[in-house]
Amino acid sequence: MYPASHVIEKRSGFEFPFTQADFQTIVRIVYERSGIVLAASKRDMAYARLVQRLRALGLNSFREYCEILSSGKSVDEIGFLINAITTNLTKFFREAHHFEHFRSQVLPELVKSAGAGVPRIRVWSAGCSSGEEPYSIAMTALAARTQTGRDWDLQILATDLDTATLEQAKAAVYPKASLESVPAPMRERFFDVHAHAKPGGIRVSKQVQALVTFKHLNLIKPWPSSTNFDVIFCRNVAIYFDAKTKAALIDRFHSLLREGGWLYVGHSESLHEHQHKFKLTGRTVYQKIKT
């Protein structure tokens, strides 16, 4: 008799056997490698996202797939698993109030505090997905710079764990429909609709691209950077983590932000357990308090 977790569920429409034990193996590996918690309700999602991979590898079951993952011989396969499991949903100017806050509150304060010198502004988009978030930050800053007439030294670091989505980000080519969420004055100025690489595609201008550096980085592993950031965007990333992983991440953001630096989180996220470290200064916008 097999333990219940090994019983193969032959559900109609399911091409490959996928036991509860197989799912638990995937849950464990994903958690260890990325911090992402896959709830029991995500089992069908895991199946749907991996089924093509099993076909491509010519496998007969998820048990065989889990054996490859657990063998320790295929680092690439674990990378593929992580890329398949991450949720990369994003868009230009998602949660538009953050960009308005950045334009109207943060940039003027950073420029003012530089006095007569050239403001040095360092921004990190942590969990940048396919690049729409850091490019939106860059467009906001470029538009604001035109208005102030001041020059500044601005660099945006954009990182993600998912290597496939980072390649899309670097290519900077998007479907034309993605312009819908871009404020009208920025569409013509910051996108190149003629020199597109794909039919129906648009490309972020070189001027915007030049402000953003993309890097592969796992937020739950050691970080090489010791930059003192003025602003960190980490939106809709920690929602996939458990409380312990999230708390450790917030502590690390705190140590990398300069005093008074801003942390933007997603619409359903809050730092109320970290009130001694961050004060709320806007809608899901926090400022570092010195501890």
Which residues carry out catalysis?
49, 160
Location of structure tokens 């670091």: 157
227 contributes a contact to ligand SAM by CB under 6 A: no
22 contributes a contact to ligand SAM by CB under 6 A: no
Size of the site for ligand SAM (CB under 6 A): 24
Residue 221 beta carbon to ligand SAM: minimum distance, rounded to whole angstroms = 8
Give the three-state DSSP class for 215: strand
Q: Running DSSP on this structure, what letter comes out for residue 14? A: -
User: What angle is formed at CA 22 by the lines to CA 16 and CA 27, rounded to 5 degrees?
Assistant: 125
User: What angle is formed at CA 187 by the lines to CA 182 and CA 189, rounded to 5 degrees?
Assistant: 135
98, 235, 246, 288: which one contacts ligand SAM (CB under 6 A)? Answer: 235
The HSE-up count of residue 48 (CA atoms within 13 Å, CB side) is 6
89, 115, 194, 276: which one contacts ligand SAM (CB under 6 A)? Answer: 89
178 contributes a contact to ligand SAM by CB under 6 A: no
The interface region with ligand SAM, picked from 97-105, 111-119, 179-187, 213-221 by CB under 6 A, is 213-221
Residue 166 beta carbon to ligand SAM: minimum distance, rounded to whole angstroms = 9
156 contributes a contact to ligand SAM by CB under 6 A: no
Task: State the alpha helices, DSSP H only, in the chain.
Answer: 20-34, 43-57, 62-70, 75-85, 96-101, 107-113, 132-148, 163-171, 184-190, 206-209, 243-256
16, 35, 69, 274: which one contacts ligand SAM (CB under 6 A)? Answer: 35
Interface residues with ligand SAM (CB under 6 A)?
34-36, 86-90, 94, 127, 129, 133, 160-162, 165, 218-220, 235-237, 240, 266
